Structure 1
Amino acid sequence: MPSLETNRCPLCQQSNFCAVNADTPCWCTKSEVKPELLSEVPQTLLGKSCICKKCIDKFNFDNIVDKS
């Protein structure tokens, strides 16, 4: 089984730029991730790798914009 790359977004597989283990707080600790977006993460990756800011922003934009 290949090792899990925690620096990759579980949705787009691009770098998630997470620095949760750094000396200063990471951007991800201040981000609100909607449960609907979390439900899109494959079960095997849930809670093991941060969703990237680009995916979070895209999801939030797509779900806030009035489509009428």
Structure 2
Amino acid sequence: SDCDCSNRGLISVPQHLPTSITSLKLEDNAITSLSSSDLSRYKCLKGLYMNRNQISIVQPGAFSDL
């Protein structure tokens, strides 16, 4: 399933979404970093869209659970 959280003023990856999502749209938010645990609960994720954020830090392992 798809989850569109674009343009919501988010500063981090939401953790309350269904774990079965396959596509996560986080475009046009204010996310500045990705930690190793931010995406770990979304193991079915195939598409991640984060255009137009303020990402300056991606920690090692941020995508390792995908």
Answer yes or no: same fold by TM over 0.5.
no
Higher relative contact order (CA 8 A, sep 6+): 1
Which protein has the larger Cα radius of gyration, Structure 1 or Structure 2?
Answer: 1
Q: Is the strand fraction higher in 1 or 2?
A: 2
| TM-score, scaled relative to structure 1 | 0.30
Structure 1 or 2: larger helix share? Answer: 1
